[in-house]
């Protein structure tokens, strides 16, 4: 999760976030190279004493500064398009979960299992454990098995919300009257924190998201327990 000392992206917990991190580094490297080269040219232009008062145009230099940016955009655009298709691809999801945004909490429905529905509210400070994170922990976590493809269907009951977990590279709008879906896989077990990323009213800051990734064996036990209760 993000802390005060976190300057860059959070550690990835899914293949999608790994690819997003690689694309971020790739694009940043290109931007740094361009910034250094342009800065060097500007400094040399300011401080050299050369001038050419009869120079009206230069076809060669104009071709160069047209072609080079086009090539640079291709090197940025092709990996970006590849990532977009990876984001949209859903192949035989193991579990489908529906998340519904409310003012100001989330509710979850496990469509593949009978009677598994619950609301997820932020834990008030007076009922938190010593190891809980303030304004981030919830009373009922969304639980999934790791290394399984999850299809998340997101909607809202009142206004637009946004279901976001940065370490998974997942951010999807919850729009009233509309179903949006996204697919993701979690690489490892653990707790992953997120928050609503769309300003949705007075308590927008108080509807966190907590996803708990566990082994498939314990996930089956948890579903059996939820169905019985």
Please tell me whether residues 119 and 194 are part of one structural domain.
Answer: yes
Three-class SS state of 228: helix
Domain at 115, CATH number = 2.60.40.420
In this structure, is residue 10 part of a structural domain? no
Please tell me whether residues 66 and 166 are part of one structural domain.
Answer: no
Please tell me whether residues 34 and 109 are part of one structural domain.
Answer: no
Q: What are 135-194's pLDDT values in tens digits?
A: 888 988 999 998 888 999 999 998 999 999 988 888 999 999 999 988 888 988 989 999
Please tell me whether residues 64 and 169 are part of one structural domain.
Answer: no
Please tell me whether residues 214 and 107 are part of one structural domain.
Answer: yes
Domain limits at 154? 95-228
In angstroms, the CA 160 to CA 204 distance is 11
* Res. 126 pLDDT band, cuts 50 70 90: confident
Other residues' Cβ atoms within 10 Å of the Cβ of residue 177: 7
In this structure, is residue 146 part of a structural domain? yes
Instruction: Assess whether pLDDT exceeds 80 at residue 89.
Output: no
Q: Which residues pair with 36 in a beta bridge?
A: none
In the chain, how many domains are there?
Answer: 2
Instruction: Assess whether pLDDT exceeds 80 at residue 86.
Output: no
Please tell me whether residues 80 and 138 are part of one structural domain.
Answer: no
Please tell me whether residues 106 and 124 are part of one structural domain.
Answer: yes
Sign of torsion, CA 167 170 174 175? Answer: positive
In angstroms, the CA 95 to CA 32 distance is 42
Please tell me whether residues 110 and 84 are part of one structural domain.
Answer: no
């Amino acid at each position: 999760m993000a802390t005060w000392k976190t300057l860059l992206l959070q550690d990835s917990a899914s293949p999608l976030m790994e690819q997003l991190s690689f694309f971020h580094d790739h694009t940043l490297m290109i931007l740094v190279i361009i910034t250094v080269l342009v800065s060097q040219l500007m400094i040399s232009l300011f401080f050299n004493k050369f001038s050419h008062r009869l120079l009206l145009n230069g076809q060669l230099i104009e071709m160069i500064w047209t072609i080079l940016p086009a090539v640079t955009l291709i090197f940025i655009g092709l990996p970006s398009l590849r990532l977009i298709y990876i984001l949209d691809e859903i192949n035989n999801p193991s579990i489908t979960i529906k998340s519904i945004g409310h003012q100001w909490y989330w509710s979850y429905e496990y469509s593949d299992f009978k009677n598994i529905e619950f609301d997820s509210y932020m834990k008030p400070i007076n009922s938190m454990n010593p190891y809980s994170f303030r304004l981030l922990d919830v009373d009922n976590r969304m639980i999934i098995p790791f290394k399984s493809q999850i299809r998340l269907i997101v909607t809202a009951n009142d206004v637009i919300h946004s279901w976001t977990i940065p370490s998974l590279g997942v951010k999807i709008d919850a729009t009233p009257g509309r179903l949006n879906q996204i697919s993701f896989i979690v690489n490892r077990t653990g707790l992953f924190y997120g928050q609503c990323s769309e300003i949705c009213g007075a308590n927008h800051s108080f509807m966190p998201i907590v996803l708990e990734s566990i082994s498939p064996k314990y996930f089956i036990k948890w579903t059996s327990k939820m169905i019985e209760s």
